[in-house]
Structure 1
Amino acid sequence: MIFILPIAAVLLGFLIALIFKPTFNNTVKLLLSFSGAFLLSITIFEFLPELYASGSKEIGLYIMGGLLLQILLEFLSRGAEHGHLHLDSKTKNIPWLLFISLAVHSIFEGFPLSQNEDLVYGIIIHKIPIAIIISSFLIVSNISKIQILIFLILFALMTPIGSYLGALDFWTESLKNNINAIVVGVLLHVSTTILFESSKNHQFNATKFGTILLGIGLAYIL
């Protein structure tokens, strides 16, 4: 399940982009806002308390390390992890810097999935709108369809690879908690950035606010 669902989420995002050819319109923005609220809530309600229950005094340090890591990754991806993507429509080659950033991000987010089933749903819901946005930009570029397919297949595999690594037996409990804390930092940065940037000119939008509340409520119920 943890290996199949992330791949299915990317495939679904690609199919939506291919069939409906959405631009970054209100529907995608709402889906992105919902995913950000859901992912943030799952992280705070489930993942974060479990980490602090370990009693390690270094958890906060590693969480801040994850935040800094995500900031560095966004210099490469230009914010693709939270819905911002700026590609030259004339480009003919796979944007490898974007791929490297997304790959590192995805491997880290996949690491704790074998230990936290609730987080799986947060990652899946987050991945669908991101896959829609990435696929939409790649489709309208001059990159060949074969290269786009290679990019998306590799992107889809990164989270399952992270899950596989996280399920290996050689991790000590302390090391696993430290890596999970880095993941929390990454997820906190991505999800809060989505929410902070979800309102144009920081104006109140009742529909988006309701969507965010829905994401929080659903995460709490789960």
Structure 2
Amino acid sequence: MIFILPLLAVLIGYLIAKFLKPSSSVTFKLLLSFSGAYLLSVTVFELLPEVYEHRSKEIGVFILLGLLFQIILEFISKGLEHGHMHHDPNTKQFPLMLLVSLGIHSLLEGFPLNESAHLLYGVAIHKIPVAAILSIFLFNSKIGQVKALLFLLLFALMTPLGSWLKLQFEFIQTYSAYLNAIVIGVFLHISTTILFEASKDHKFNASKLCVIILGILLAYFM
């Protein structure tokens, strides 16, 4: 399941991009808000208490390192992890640095997935809108259909690869608390960015608030 669900999430995102044209869809934006709320809640309810069973001050340092590392990655990806795409759609060059940034992010998020089914669901839900936005960019660009599909395939494989590496190598398991702390920092940055970005014209959005509350409640009671 930890290998199949992230792959399925990318496929669903691709199909949404292909058939529903979600870039201007209110429903799509609400899905993004829901995914942010659910991911943040699972991180707070499950990952944080687990890592703080270890030495607290050191864990806190690694959480902050994860947050800073995600900020660095977003200089390259230009915010795609939390639902934005600012790359040039007319580019003819394969976006290698974007793949590196998203690949590292996806690899990291795969490490703790075997420890929590709820986290697995949260990552999968989060990947759907990201994959949809990425698909729109790739297939509207001028890099070619084959390269676009190759990009999506590599992106889809990175999270299962992270989960596989965690299961195969003992030294990763030995330092899993510190790696999970880095992932927590990554998740905290992404999810809070999704949730606290200003709404259009800074108006209160009741629908967004409702899906955020729903995401929190589902993460708590599931």
* Aligned equivalents of 1:168, 1:203: Cα separation in 2: 49
* Aligned equivalents of 2:44, 2:202: Cα separation in 1: 24
Over the residues paired in the alignment, what is the CA RMSD in angstroms? 1.4
- Note the 1:1-222 alignment, pairs <5 A: 1-171=1-171, 175-197=175-197, 199-222=199-222
Unaligned runs of 5+ in 1: none
Per-residue Cα deviation, 1:7-56 (whole angstroms, up to 9, x for no partner)? 11001100111112222432211110000000000000111111112344
After superposition, the Cα gap between the structure-2 partners of 1:24 and 1:99, relative to the gap in structure 1 and judged at 3 Å, is farther
After superposition, the Cα gap between the structure-2 partners of 1:173 and 1:17, relative to the gap in structure 1 and judged at 3 Å, is closer
Corresponding letter in the other structure for 2:26: N
* Aligned equivalents of 2:123, 2:208: Cα separation in 1: 20
Using the TM superposition, give the Cα deviation of residue 176 of structure 1 relative to its aligned residue in structure 2, in angstroms. Answer: 1.1
Corresponding letter in the other structure for 2:191: S
Per-residue Cα deviation, 1:148-191 (whole angstroms, up to 9, x for no partner)? 10000000000001111111241266511001100000000000
Number of aligned positions between the proteins? 222
Per-residue Cα deviation, 1:86-123 (whole angstroms, up to 9, x for no partner)? 12221122211111110000000001111222210110
After superposition, the Cα gap between the structure-2 partners of 1:72 and 1:172, relative to the gap in structure 1 and judged at 3 Å, is closer
TM-score, normalised via structure 1 length: 0.95
Which ranges of 4 or more aligned residues in structure 1 deviate by more than 4 Å? none
Worse-matched range after superposition: 108-117 or 64-73: 108-117
Query: Identity of paired residues, percent?
Result: 57
Worse-matched range after superposition: 63-72 or 171-180: 171-180
Using the TM superposition, give the Cα deviation of residue 198 of structure 1 relative to its aligned residue in structure 2, in angstroms. Answer: 5.7
Per-residue Cα deviation, 1:39-82 (whole angstroms, up to 9, x for no partner)? 00000011111111234431100000000000000000000100
Using the TM superposition, give the Cα deviation of residue 137 of structure 1 relative to its aligned residue in structure 2, in angstroms. Answer: 1.6
Q: Determine if contact 2:166/2:172 at 8 Å carries over to the other structure.
A: no
